[in-house]
């Protein structure tokens, strides 16, 4: 059995569609289809039913997933442990975070890292999706949600805060909302439900059911840009809103704290290039905290 065929099978199982699997593996859809057909031929079993909603695993597919997932875990464990023996400050390190974290905190840190260790290549994946470190989707991640998996090392980077913001011209035209009114008569910009479902109901702990949602976005930078453009009121981190002179705090006494975490797999903790990237991230958040104090 070809391991590349198995990787395609696992991606289809997890994504539910051939297209989604192809995108996750960075291959074309036709190649994914051929590899699935090859695997089904080698095993002599049909692994998926093609339905209008996507690919549904057959009983044989469920058994195949259990076995191939164990194979994947073994391969990933071996690779991480081999990487953990690497003491060279060179090679690639994949880093997952949101676009706002990358923009505000990490770009200066990555510049300093490159100056110090020019042979380290950072592969930055900016997304609101939580990448799986166990499945090697990233070597490091900066998250606002603390993971609970026992094989992950977690370091607290700092506590940040959200506030309600709007563009000056929006407030001049629409006035400032009163607390307790549910933002009645106002427009909001929020994350799409698949990214952050709770924002349709609350912003900075304020119920906002009376507001009209003017725009839904899927990244923090788009949220900030939309609020700065005057489309509506939005919940933004203070450090991001400070980059937009046109923005004003709507309720200066209202904010919502959240924590940031650096996450890496335990097997990579001793890899020199991974440690160098991790140290640069920690340094960046420490400098930001000192500047804010």
- Looking up residue 71, the CATH number of its domain turns out to be 1.10.10.10
List all residues 6 or more positions away from 258 whose beta carbon is below 8 Å from its beta carbon: 144, 159, 160, 161, 162
Mean pLDDT across 6-15: 88
What share of the chain has pLDDT > 90, as a percent?
49
pLDDT tens-place string over residues 163-209: 999 999 999 999 999 999 999 999 999 999 888 887 888 999 889 98
Q: State how many domains the chain has.
A: 3
Asked if 126 and 248 sit in the same domain, the reply is no
* Last residue within a domain, chosen from 84, 106, 140: 84
Asked if 78 and 98 sit in the same domain, the reply is no
Asked if 80 and 95 sit in the same domain, the reply is no
* Last residue within a domain, chosen from 34, 61, 84: 84
pLDDT tens-place string over residues 93-128: 999 999 999 999 999 999 999 999 999 999 998 887
The pTM of the full predicted model, rounded to 2 decimals, is 0.68
- Pairing, β 212-217 against β 187-191: parallel
Asked if 145 and 263 sit in the same domain, the reply is yes
- Looking up residue 123, the CATH number of its domain turns out to be 3.40.190.10
Asked if 149 and 187 sit in the same domain, the reply is no
Asked if 150 and 30 sit in the same domain, the reply is no
Do you know the residue count of the chain? Answer: 293
DSSP state of 115: H
Q: Print the domain residue range for 98.
A: 91-154+259-292
* Last residue within a domain, chosen from 40, 69, 84: 84
User: Residue 121's beta-bridge partner residues?
Assistant: 92
Asked if 195 and 178 sit in the same domain, the reply is yes
Asked if 111 and 62 sit in the same domain, the reply is no
Establish how many alpha carbons lie within 13 A of residue 275's alpha carbon, considering only the half-sphere containing its beta carbon: 14
Task: Please provide the distance, in angstroms rounded to a whole number, between the alpha carbons at the two ends of the chain.
Answer: 58
């Amino acid at each position: 059995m070809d391991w590349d065929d198995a990787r395609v099978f696992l991606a289809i199982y997890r994504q539910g569609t051939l297209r989604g699997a192809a995108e996750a593996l960075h291959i074309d859809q036709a190649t994914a289809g051929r590899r699935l057909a090859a695997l089904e031929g080698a095993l002599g079993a049909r692994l998926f039913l093609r339905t209008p909603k996507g690919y549904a695993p057959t009983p044989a597919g469920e058994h195949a997933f259990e076995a191939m997932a164990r194979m994947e875990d073994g391969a990933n464990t071996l690779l991480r442990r081999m990487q953990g023996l690497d003491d060279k400050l060179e090679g690639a390190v994949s880093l997952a975070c949101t676009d706002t974290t990358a923009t505000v905190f990490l770009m200066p840190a990555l510049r300093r890292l490159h100056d110090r260790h020019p042979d380290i290549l950072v592969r930055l994946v900016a997304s609101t999706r939580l990448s799986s470190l166990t499945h090697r989707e990233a070597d490091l991640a900066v998250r606002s949600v603390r993971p609970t998996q026992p094989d992950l090392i977690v370091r607290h980077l700092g506590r940040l805060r959200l506030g309600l913001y709007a563009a000056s011209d929006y407030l001049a035209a629409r006035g400032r909302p009163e607390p307790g009114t549910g933002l009645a008569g106002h427009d909001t910009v929020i994350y799409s439900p698949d990214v952050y479902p709770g924002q349709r109901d609350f912003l900075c702990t304020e119920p906002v059911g009376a507001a009209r949602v003017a725009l839904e976005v899927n990244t923090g930078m788009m949220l900030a840009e939309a609020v700065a453009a005057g489309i509506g009121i939005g919940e933004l981190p203070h450090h991001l809103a400070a980059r937009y002179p046109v923005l004003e705090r709507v309720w200066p006494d209202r904010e919502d704290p959240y924590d940031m975490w650096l996450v890496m797999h335990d097997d990579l903790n001793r890899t020199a290039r991974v440690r160098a990237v991790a140290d640069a991230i920690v340094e960046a958040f420490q400098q930001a905290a000192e500047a804010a104090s």
